[in-house]
Amino acid sequence: MFVDGKEMRPIWLDADQRTVKVIDQRLLPHDFIIMDLRTPDETIYAIQEMVVRGAPLIGATAAYGVYLIVVDAPDPAVPEDYLTAESERLKAARPTAVNLAWAVDRMVPKIRAAKTPEAKRAAALAAAEEIVELEADNCRRIGEHGVSLIQEIQDRKQGGPVNLLTHCNAGWLACVEYGTATAPMYVAHEQGIEIHVWVDETRPLNQGARLTAWELGKAGIPHTVVTDNAGGHLMQHGLVDLVITGTDRTTYTGDVANKIGTYLKALAAKDNDIPFYVALPSTTFDWTLADGVHDIPIEERNPDEVRYIQGSDGGTLRNVLVPPEGSPAGNYAFDVTPARLVTGFITERGICRATAADIQRLFPEK
Ligand code: MRU
């Protein structure tokens, strides 16, 4: 995607084939800094501290992380126990987004199968790049399929923009290109369909206000940042035509784990008869879990992310304390929206209802 005329991705491998470059998403939109990752430890740090975040990008970063395990191994033969231990460490960096484990598990057997140090390095690089390109392609297709939902609403409305609402950042920063929830918005905008996006600020880390608003602004897409609690009001007053969010892990039965607060948007959408779609690549399905509410691990993060809020003060990034110094805070990073509240999924293979049978029809091989 383009940032001030320059084509960019949130992650790429430097020409030295030794350094993974990432945009530091903690600092956007006020500072634009590229961070270098050269070791598995630096990769784990970047995922845990949310330098990079968003399910597909966590998967892509993990893929390059496995490559760095090979490149950085003290013994170039990459002994079996070393590869296993380092891969497990990487997989534990964040618990909810299933793309992390998916990427690592896809890469490790390919490295194991290669016999020489050179072959292991080449296999790791090829597998990592395959994952990165797969995610970019998945998101492109999600956009092509999802735009039909926006087009239908525009045809029905006969005038005025199609009003979408999204939560957190499921844009290109969270993926490799296009985003998941934002991909249909980008395609609609390209096709000249008039849209406007309500952007939930998404406390505590404000991925909506900081990242989605930045992305949409750069693309020239009209948008308005609202507080996380505004969605219900907007829906009651006919100001939302369609909700599209991303997801970190979706069960094969259609339960959706996504950024905390997504569930409340789905409830409000149901109450107001507004379609609630979740956009995801198939890499975000967990084909082993049936009960999302009870079985998807929900990350609990440092309470200081809730207690403090970050913003720009005359060009300087500052963190300020919000509640009383002594008040404890809880920081649940995700919640689960049960399938019954989800109108449908927008995937790289098309749109389906949020039922096990419909999902299986699109992905019969799973
Ligand atoms: O904690 P984050 O910022 O990694 O959470 C990200 C989200 O919840 C996104 O909506 C999700 O990963 C989908 S990204 C296309």
How many Å apart are CA 155 and CA 350, to the nearest integer?
A: 20
Q: How far is CA 169 from CA 52, 56, 89, 96, 326, in A?
A: 12, 12, 26, 16, 31
Q: Could you tell me which of 85, 65, 72, 81 has the C-alpha nearest to residue 22?
A: 65
Q: How far is CA 129 from CA 61, 135, 328, in A?
A: 11, 10, 43
Q: With beta carbons less than 8 A apart as the criterion, state whether 152 and 112 touch.
A: no
Indicate the pLDDT class of residue 5, thresholds 50, 70 and 90.
Answer: confident
How many Å apart are CA 181 and CA 165, to the nearest integer?
A: 10
Which residues lie closer than 8 Å to 154 by C-beta, 6 or more apart?
A: 162, 193, 194
The CATH superfamily label for domain 145-362 reads: Translation initiation factor eif-2b; domain 2 (3.40.50.10470)
With a cut of 90, say whether residue 3 has pLDDT above it.
no
Check if 204 has its Cβ closer than 6 Å to any atom of ligand 1: no
Residue 200's pLDDT is 98
Residue 2's pLDDT is 86
Q: With beta carbons less than 8 A apart as the criterion, state whether 108 and 70 touch.
A: no
Active-site residue, 248 included:
yes
Ligand 1: residue of 47, 53, 243 to mutate (most ligand atoms within 8 A of CB) is 53
Q: State the fold for domain 2-135.
A: Four Helix Bundle (Hemerythrin (Met), subunit A) (1.20.120)
With a cut of 90, say whether residue 297 has pLDDT above it.
yes
Pairing of strands 162-166, 242-245: parallel
Q: Ligand 1: distance of its center to the CA of 347 in Å?
A: 16
Dump pLDDT digits (tens) for 192-223. 999 999 999 999 999 999 999 999 999 999 99
Q: Ligand 1: distance of its center to the CA of 120 in Å?
A: 31
Q: Ligand 1: distance of its center to the CA of 118 in Å?
A: 35
Dump pLDDT digits (tens) for 234-272. 999 999 999 999 999 999 999 999 999 999 999 999 999
Residue ranges in 158-182 assigned as alpha helix (H)? none
Domain residue extents for the chain:
2-135, 145-362
Q: What is the mean pLDDT of residues 176-198?
A: 98
Q: The tokens of 153 are what?
A: 């609403």
